[in-house]
Amino acid sequence: MVSVSFGVLAETAGLSPLAAIVMSAIVYAGSAQFTAIAIIAGGGGVGAALAAAALINSRFLAMGAALGPSLPGNAASRAAQGQTVVDASWVLASRGDGTFDRNMLFGSSAIQYVTWLSGTVVGALAGDVLGDPEKLGLDAVYPAFFLALLVSEARSGRPLGVAALGGAIALALVPIAPAGVPVLVASVAALVGLTRSARADARRKAEGR
């Protein structure tokens, strides 16, 4: 469903069906693809779209670092194996003790790659038949998908506060900043959340707890 929507919606950002399929084939990072497409469709530039995609991909730095010791071979080989990381395959491959089952990583990633790519093909080709994506409510799919990810990540505490601040920053900037920029600036909310966490930690230490 999500990959089919990507195929259909890529057209709203001016991508041809072939371009949408190529993007899923060589990028293979759903949230980064959706983010980049959403910013272009909203009138943003390529620079803003790529910067937002890089930020949303930054979690792969942390995931790759955790995975590193479980991958054999030289640097190039480890980097190649690291390309198979997507959120679900990383979670499935994790043994829970800090090590990873790389066969599980490759296997689950391969299955998802096929699903992701074939869904995009269906969506991209169906786009012409389906007609106006807005009539079908497909423009609500991006924000709904992002909201679903947000709800599963940030139900309470610090992440919820950061989400509220990020949303407020973006809304405030929409009328005055070029498209795409409000989303980038909203990442400052994460820094604010971080400094507040650091202060809270320092206070706990100072109080000797």
Partner 1 sequence: MSTSVALIGGCALITAAIKSVGPIALGGRELPDWFSSLVVLLAPALLAALVVTQALADGDRLAAGPDTAGVVAGGLVVFKTGSIIGCVVVAAALTAGLRAL
Judged by CB under 8 A, the stretch of 13-21, 103-111, 114-122, 123-131 that binds partner 1 is 13-21
Q: Which of 85, 93, 105, 124 binds partner 1 (CB under 8 A)?
A: 85
125 or 169: CB nearest partner 1: 169
Q: Which of 88, 99, 143, 203 binds partner 1 (CB under 8 A)?
A: 143
Contact between 65 and partner 1 per CB under 8 A: yes
22 or 125: CB nearest partner 1: 22
Q: Which of 175, 205, 207, 209 binds partner 1 (CB under 8 A)?
A: 175
Give the ranges where the chain is alpha helix by DSSP (H).
2-9, 17-26, 30-41, 46-57, 59-67, 75-82, 87-93, 102-130, 141-153, 157-173, 181-185, 188-206
Biggest CA pair distance of the chain = 66
Cα 31 to Cα 57, 128, 145: the distances in Å are 8, 24, 9
Report how far residue 99's alpha carbon sits from residue 102's, in angstroms, rounded to the nearest whole number.
9
Contact between 129 and partner 1 per CB under 8 A: no
Tell me the number of residues near partner 1 by CB under 8 A.
100
Residues 87-106 that bind partner 1 (CB under 8 A): none
3-state secondary structure of 155: coil
Judged by CB under 8 A, the stretch of 109-117, 123-131, 145-153 that binds partner 1 is 145-153
Q: Which of 7, 17, 29, 108 binds partner 1 (CB under 8 A)?
A: 29
Q: What's phi and psi for 78, nearest 5 deg? A: -65, -40
